[in-house]
């Protein structure tokens, strides 16, 4: 009989969170640890990753830090070799260059694609085979609402997020028969280092807040629930999905609120 009380219990499981030093990655690591997982926090900045591990241990959890550079094939493969089969893998890092598409240089285009899209590919190629051989595992990659809707200045970023989604879906189809699930989480506007440029511009910040149904930005912690769900048995029949965590951003069209009659009472 299925034990509903343990749907989100990750006790005895090991998870790797790449990008776990800050933002959504850090929140994901803390969320997974809070539900019992032993979490390996990986980042370019190992000192900051150690701070996340400190928070995990302070809360009674288990964790360790390591360096992973998603742009470095050898580094990723060495990390996969040392860690072996994982129960869960979460991939969060991204960069963006906010410029009109026709003004992007080849170098700027390549830098965004190399981390956001090819970096995810390198990680999948290195870590997924051990899960497949073991016959189980959950992989979560951070996509974005930009995989579905775009705005000026986000052309290459949006392309990488759409590419990540489709790559995740393709591998989900390929590894599903082997017991491995892959899903993409699509945040809306979240207060992270990546969105610092917008946060510091009051008009821009407010406009983004108003676009969501909830009329506010999300905190990184509000993304952790989706990650925990997708890494747990609560989502055992969920794979190839695009899970929107966007405050209703993509469900509303246009930038104009029509003058509707006031509610009675």
> Do 33 and 26 touch, CB atoms closer than 8 A?
no
Sheet holding 137-142, edge to edge: 62-67, 38-43, 14-18, 88-91, 137-142, 180-187, 242-245
CA angle 18, 146, 119 (to 5 degrees): 30
> Do 147 and 194 touch, CB atoms closer than 8 A?
no
Query: What is the Cα–Cα distance from 95 to 162, expressed in whole angstroms?
Result: 14
Torsion of CA 250, 256, 260, 264, to 10 degrees: 60
Whether 205 is a known active-site residue: answer no
Q: Which of 157, 205, 208, 237 is catalytic?
A: 157
Residues recognised as catalytic: 157
């Amino acid at each position: 009989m299925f034990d509903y009380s343990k749907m989100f219990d990750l006790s005895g499981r090991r998870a790797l969170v790449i990008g776990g030093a800050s933002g959504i990655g850090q929140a994901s690591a803390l969320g997974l640890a809070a539900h019992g997982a032993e979490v390996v926090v990986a980042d370019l900045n190992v000192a900051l990753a150690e701070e996340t591990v400190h928070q995990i241990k302070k809360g009674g959890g288990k964790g360790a830090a390591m360096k992973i550079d998603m742009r470095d094939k050898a580094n990723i493969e060495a990390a996969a070799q040392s860690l072996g089969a994982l129960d869960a893998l979460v991939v969060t890092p991204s960069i963006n260059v906010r410029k009109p598409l026709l003004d992007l240089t080849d170098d700027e285009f390549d830098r965004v694609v190399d981390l956001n899209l090819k970096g995810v590919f390198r990680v999948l190629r290195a870590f997924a085979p051990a899960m497949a051989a073991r016959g189980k595992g959950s992989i979560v990659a951070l996509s974005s609402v930009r995989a579905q809707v775009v705005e000026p200045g986000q052309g290459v970023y949006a392309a990488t997020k759409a590419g990540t989604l489709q790559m995740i879906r393709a591998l989900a189809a390929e590894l599903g028969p082997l017991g491995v699930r892959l899903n993409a989480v699509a945040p809306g506007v979240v207060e992270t280092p990546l969105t610092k440029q917008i946060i510091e511009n009051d008009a821009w910040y407010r406009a983004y807040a108003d676009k969501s149904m909830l009329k506010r930005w999300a905190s990184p912690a509000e993304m952790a629930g989706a990650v925990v769900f997708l890494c747990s048995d609560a989502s055992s029949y969920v794979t190839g999905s695009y899970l929107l965590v966007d405050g209703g951003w993509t469900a509303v069209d246009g930038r104009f609120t029509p003058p509707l009659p006031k509610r009675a009472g």
